[in-house]
Amino acid sequence: MAPAYPPSRQKRLRQVARALARHGLGWLVLDLGLGRLVPFHRGVLRHAAQEDPYTKPEHLRLALEDLGVTAVKLGQVLSTRPDLVPADLAAELARLQDRVPPVPFEAVRAVVEAELGQPLEALFAAFDPEPLAAASIGQVHAATLPDGTAVVVKVRRPGVEAQAEADLALLDALARTAAARTSWGQDYDIVGWVREFAFTLRDELDYAAEARHAEQVRRDFADEPALHVPAVFPERSARRVLTMERLDGVKVDDAAALAAAGVDRQELARTATRVMLRMVLRNGFYHADPHPGNVLVLPGGRIGLLDFGMVGALDAATRQALLRIVLALAAEDTDRLVDELTALGVTGEAVARGPLKQDLERLRRRYATRPLKEIAAAEAFQDIMDVARRHRLRLPAELVQLAKVTAMAEGTALQLDPDFEILAFSLPYVRRFWLRTLSPRAQARRLSGSLADLADLGEALPRQLRRLTHRLEQGALPLTVAADPSPETLQRIDRAANRVAVSVLTAAFVVGGSLLALAYHPTGGHPALVAVAVLAVLFVLGLVAALWRRGRL
């Protein structure tokens, strides 16, 4: 049964329903049970006309932009999930823009002083009232510390967290409605996906989390001179304020500025790819939004990373599985690829292995005859997502996010060097990281973890067995059986039961005949026993023939 929407959210629900209906998404309004909130007969549903008709993806993008910060972030995250949405819709959602005016300077001052507990003038020697950039969650200002250090200060917009929390609660109710009323809501686990999105958005709203992300990457790459992560100033940072070192460099996609600075673009492409591979496959913690605006080229050809609001994390087991998947792709081993995908937990219960293998085999053949330099990671990623949608695979968010990040990093590398063969460059690093997982130290680390798990299990198992035995004795252990009442299934069960019955009858006649023979010790006569044996054989054969003719055996 679909959840009821609370009266306190009726106004926002009406805004959602009207925005969707205004942009031609009336089917979604009806699916979500919001039809009563939409005055279809009034002119409020008209939108600005244009010479060329809007496409369906454009309609959805415009509706999300009308609905504000949470909806825009929802669309931006959906654009990174082509396993859930078609390629044309993902591309359109990637164009979502935060259309918000800057927050007035006095409101910015109030947030900074409330969070840091001091007057703005005591915290900064200079603070530019005009923002460098403004977005739906916050805006960035240039400032100078009392010791002369140049910094940037990120300030969250007042009221944005309360609005986001209200929208997330409403979005959860809408997702549960979709799961209860529609097949697509169930097939794509919309409720689970919305909860993942809520976690991501709350992380973006918390600048203290972004500070921790930046510091972790900074520690991970302390020995890497090619990468510079801006320092965080924790005494001037909090949940709504983040103060970081200001980096002066050239944007990675500014070809003219790179040429003027004498940057070796080919070497830069290789360095950027190597850094990303190390983040993902060795450290398991990586920047998840490496678009050109977040990547600077610093003096000396070093790379500077900005904006750690979106990061990805992979545990050791997932990293090992990904390494095996890449090696299976390189070896053109489709069976192993299906095995690894299954082990990674990306196949749903209803996924048929045979058709999945056939589709992956077609992909393998398509790419097998092409040189590595002609294979784009973004294209291969999209092909795999198409297969995922076709088989309704529930891909882990981390896996999809990583694939999208890989495609973005590849795009940046190819902008720097159009002849860069990213797959050929990456495979030696993949093999090297794989060998690291086989080293004695890594094996010992995994073994110690397994032994700790085993010790915990040994400690907990007696208590769990005692509780299980007690519930069995009390008759309090429920047993749930899921049955498929389809005619095909019932027919298979009927045939199996008939075969068992025939086998039991045959065994009974054989055992009975043996007992009679032992009792009477027939040596030359007893025609009655022979007649009984013949009749028994004829009976069994007749029964088998009758069941066979009816297709029940």
List, by residue number, the catalytic residues: 289
Euclidean distance between CA atoms 446 and 171, whole angstroms:
40
Euclidean distance between CA atoms 429 and 408, whole angstroms:
19
Euclidean distance between CA atoms 56 and 62, whole angstroms:
10
Neighbours of 223 (CB within 10 A): 6
The answer to whether 348 touches 392, Cβ cutoff 8 Å, is yes
Place of tokens 């369906």: 56
Euclidean distance between CA atoms 531 and 1, whole angstroms:
66
The answer to whether 264 touches 301, Cβ cutoff 8 Å, is yes
Distances in Å between the alpha carbon of 57 and those of 33, 62, 87, 89? 22, 9, 10, 5
Question: Which of these, 369, 375, 379, 364, lies nearest to 332 by C-alpha position?
Answer: 364
Q: What is the DSSP letter of 232?
A: B
The answer to whether 152 touches 141, Cβ cutoff 8 Å, is yes
The answer to whether 507 touches 536, Cβ cutoff 8 Å, is no
Specify the amino acid at residue 506.
T
Question: Strands 227-228, 250-251: parallel, antiparallel or unpaired by DSSP?
Answer: unpaired
The answer to whether 73 touches 204, Cβ cutoff 8 Å, is yes
Residue 540's φ and ψ, nearest 5 degrees, are -65, -45
Which residue pairs, CB below 8 angstroms and at least 24 apart, start in 457-463? none
Question: Which of these, 323, 336, 279, 341, lies nearest to 305 by C-alpha position?
Answer: 279
Residue 244's φ and ψ, nearest 5 degrees, are -135, 155
Euclidean distance between CA atoms 447 and 444, whole angstroms:
5
DSSP 299-342: GGG-EEE---SSEEE--HHHHHHHHHHHHHHHTT-HHHHHHHHH
Q: What is the DSSP letter of 16?
A: H
Q: Residue 313 CA to chain centroid, in angstroms?
A: 12
Query: First and final CA of the chain: distance in angstroms?
Result: 42
Q: Which helix (H) or strand (E) holds 465?
A: helix 440-474
The answer to whether 252 touches 297, Cβ cutoff 8 Å, is yes
